[in-house]
Amino acid sequence: MTPTTVLVTGGSGFIGGWCVLAALDSGHHVRTTVRDPAKGNRLRAQLHAAASFDDERLTIVLADLGDDAGWAEAVSGCDAVLHVASPTLRTTDLSEDEMIATARDGVLRVLRAARDHGVRRVVLTSASGAVVYGHPPQTEPFTEDDWSDVPIPSQPSVPRPSGRHVTAVPPYQKSKTLAERAAWEFVRSEGRGLELVAINPTAVLGPMLGNDDPPSLRTIRGMLAGALPVCPPFGTGWVDVRDVADLHLRAMTDPAAAGERFIATSGRSLRMVEIARVLRERLGDRAAKAPTRELPVFLAKALGVINPQLRALRPQLGLNLDSTSAKAQRLLGWRPRPVADSIVDTAESILAHTAS
């Protein structure tokens, strides 16, 4: 399948913007959705600042995941859809139930529109949060066969064995898990031949297209500003946003991707203190405020009672949420860049936008 017209939902977001840019760079005509016309104007300017392309190949349309209006027009004539848009951690006015409902219902709204208008394949931006949470601690990396242990509302919950220690699943990760589950069930029962691929990125780094504040970059922003005097004790995978966009394009066009999930991660998980170490080593005095120590787990959990940042991290404190992208590399030929380079590029971008 070689799409000529691609819809990218949520083009004003961090991942969405880079997916738009990757699709344009590959020669496609791109249509992207935003919820606010002002965001569309800003996105177009940011994309032109980042790359040279024929403006006629980019169309920006209004559509909201919470409303049916606009979606038929958005998908009409498209060969493929990259469904990137989802409520994020920056959305502070949504309760857990509202975040889950918005993510799940939005996925189904896009899938129905895609099916009804002849789209052949939808690539869904899920998350490693739909893979790595709710499990007992384990030594082997998580793979695409794993699912975060979130009860599915339509199914009875399975009681856990007494005394079994598992990681809790935070609201955002619940929303991504249940939205992806709903997407696979829809394609199985109502898709009528619609193909689905899921991309499950770990924590996403990389340069910003504009002066934005993606939640996944706040750790590095805080380290550079001296807002994190010590590092929280946990490790997770990291991946560059440009590589995530590249994986979306590969998943959109490669026949081998149909019906598959792909974890996007650059390699082994890194602890926060290792991220800080890279910043100090590669940026010198510009990263002089980056922390040098890691909080003990017991102290981090105790401080989480009064510290909102640590409280939000409690489900992963002390853990090493390691996963592997071997499947994407084997089936799709995907090759992520070294994570240290992504850390430096992220920091350089933050510093440049802070100075401007």
CA distance 20 to 25: 9
- Residue 84 vs residues 10, 58, 154, 180: alpha-carbon distances, Å: 6, 17, 25, 12
Residues counted in the chain: 356
CA distance 40 to 60: 6
Instruction: State the DSSP code for 356.
Output: -
Q: Is 301 a catalytic residue?
A: no
Locate the DSSP E strands across 114-160.
Answer: 121-125
Q: What are the φ and ψ backbone dihedral angles of 270, each rounded to 5 degrees? A: -120, 140
- Which tokens in the block code for residue 178? 């249940």
Residue 108 contacts residue 147 (beta carbons within 8 Å): no
**DSSP 3-state assignment of 45?**
helix
Catalytic residue of the set 39, 176, 289, 301: 176
- Residue 257 vs residues 20, 21, 201, 330: alpha-carbon distances, Å: 20, 21, 16, 11
CA distance 177 to 103: 10
Q: Which residues are catalytic?
A: 176
